[in-house]
């Protein structure tokens, strides 16, 4: 065995021991996964083969991470007792991201998310002035992010949102409506600027939910 091979085996030992301890605690995690230091994973989580859980990540509740996906440093994915977070295959969730589910957050295959992403499927009530917001009943609605979606940094995705296949969300956007497939959207309340692909005309002023479509000619004014 060469020195480089020996080093690879030796460097793998701490990760192997972390996975072994997690499995002894009843956590469903593949021995082919990679788990860095200072990671917390609770029972109920399922980690497929080839997944990389980076330093400082916390996975709590019913969280499922698909084959070959990566969870970036100091990210937090958690659920309420009846909630579920399901992440598909070959998904990249970058560092310092937060995903929470009271009901359901589903992420399709081959998505890439930049750092500081926040996704939630629930919100607190605030209409009753006699009740503190932190004590008010909350409501929830599932979030669905279809496959091959790219989300920029510091994006917030709220309850009930569906991001269509192949859509792109610009940095620092607040998404609270459905985004159609293969759309590029950006802004505090995202507006679809154009469709992906060549020679794709948009209707104006047609809208889908809170998304306003702009004609391509408008973009050149």
129, with CB counted inside 10 A (0-12, 13-18, 19+), is exposed
Report domain extents, the chain. 3-188
pLDDT digits (tens, 9 = 90+) for 74-125: 999 999 999 999 999 999 999 999 999 999 999 999 999 999 999 999 998 8
84 is catalytic: no
Q: Express each pLDDT in 119-145 by its tens digit.
A: 999 998 888 888 898 888 989 999 999
DSSP 99: E
CATH fold of 3-188 reads UDP N-Acetylglucosamine Acyltransferase; domain 1 (2.160.10)
- Residue 188 confidence (pLDDT): 80
- 172-201 residue pLDDT tens: 999 999 999 999 999 886 667 666 665 555
Is residue 202 within 8 Å of residue 215, measured between CB atoms?
yes
What is the rounded CA–CA span in Å between residue 165 and residue 156?
18
Q: Indicate the burial class of 5 (C-beta count within 10 angstroms; 0-12, 13-18, 19 or more).
A: exposed
Q: Distance (Å, rounded) from C-alpha 37 to C-alpha 27?
A: 17
Helix (H, G, I), strand (E, B) or coil at 134: helix
Percent above pLDDT 90 for the chain: 71
- Residue 197 CB coordination number (10 Å): 8
Choosing from 84, 90, 124, 220, which is the catalytic residue? 124
pLDDT number for residue 75: 98
Separation CA 110–CA 166 (nearest Å): 10
Q: How far apart are CA 62 and CA 21, in angstroms?
A: 19
pLDDT top residue among 28 and 218 = 28
């Amino acid at each position: 065995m060469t020195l480089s091979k020996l080093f690879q085996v030796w460097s793998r030992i701490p990760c192997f021991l972390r996975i072994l301890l997690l499995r002894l605690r009843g956590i469903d995690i593949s021995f082919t996964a990679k788990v860095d230091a200072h990671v917390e994973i609770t029972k109920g989580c399922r980690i497929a083969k080839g997944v990389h859980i980076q330093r400082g990540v916390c996975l709590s509740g019913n969280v499922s991470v698909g084959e070959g996906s990566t969870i970036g440093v100091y990210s937090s994915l958690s659920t309420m007792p009846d909630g579920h977070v399901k992440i598909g295959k070959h998904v990249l969730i970058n560092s310092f991201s937060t995903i929470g589910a009271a009901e359901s957050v589903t992420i399709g295959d081959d998505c890439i998310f930049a750092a500081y992403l926040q996704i939630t499927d629930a919100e607190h009530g605030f209409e009753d002035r006699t009740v503190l917001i932190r004590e008010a009943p909350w409501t929830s609605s599932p979030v669905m992010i279809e496959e091959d979606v790219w989300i920029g940094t510091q994006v917030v995705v709220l309850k009930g949102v569906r991001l269509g296949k192949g859509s792109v969300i610009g940095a620092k956007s607040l998404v609270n409506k459905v985004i159609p497939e293969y759309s590029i959207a950006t802004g505090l309340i995202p507006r679809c600027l154009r469709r992906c692909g060549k020679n794709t005309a948009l209707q104006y002023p047609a809208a889908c939910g809170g998304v306003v479509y702009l004609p391509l000619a408008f973009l050149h004014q």
